[in-house]
Amino acid sequence: MTSLTPLLLSTAVNIVLAQTSPAPQQWIGRCEPVNAVVVMNQALTEGKTDAEAFAAVVAARSFDGSKACIDFIREASMNMREGYPRTFQSLWMN
């Protein structure tokens, strides 16, 4: 059974891109999986949805728009699952 997480993440990215569609250089950051996990966990702890949490990752410029970066973020959440359980649960258990 395929996971809905990549679909949710890509939907969140599309929503953010649709709302903030200036030049791509203004919103694309570097792929920083560890920072993305921290930002996402903080947003989820504040009660935000998965899409809002991923939008916070994009706003923090920790996502470069690639599918590989999503995989790196998921892998980082697996490695950091004890310290950041909400991100792990959001990306792997839903």
Q: Which residues lie closer than 8 Å to 76 by C-beta, 6 or more apart?
A: 33, 34, 36, 37
Per-residue pLDDT tens listing for the chain (94 residues): 456 566 656 666 666 655 555 555 555 678 999 999 999 999 999 999 999 998 999 999 989 888 999 999 999 999 999 999 998 888 888 7
CB 30, CB 61: distance < 8 Å? yes
pTM over 0.85: no
Length reported for the chain? 94
What is the C-alpha separation between 54 and 5, in angstroms, rounded? 11
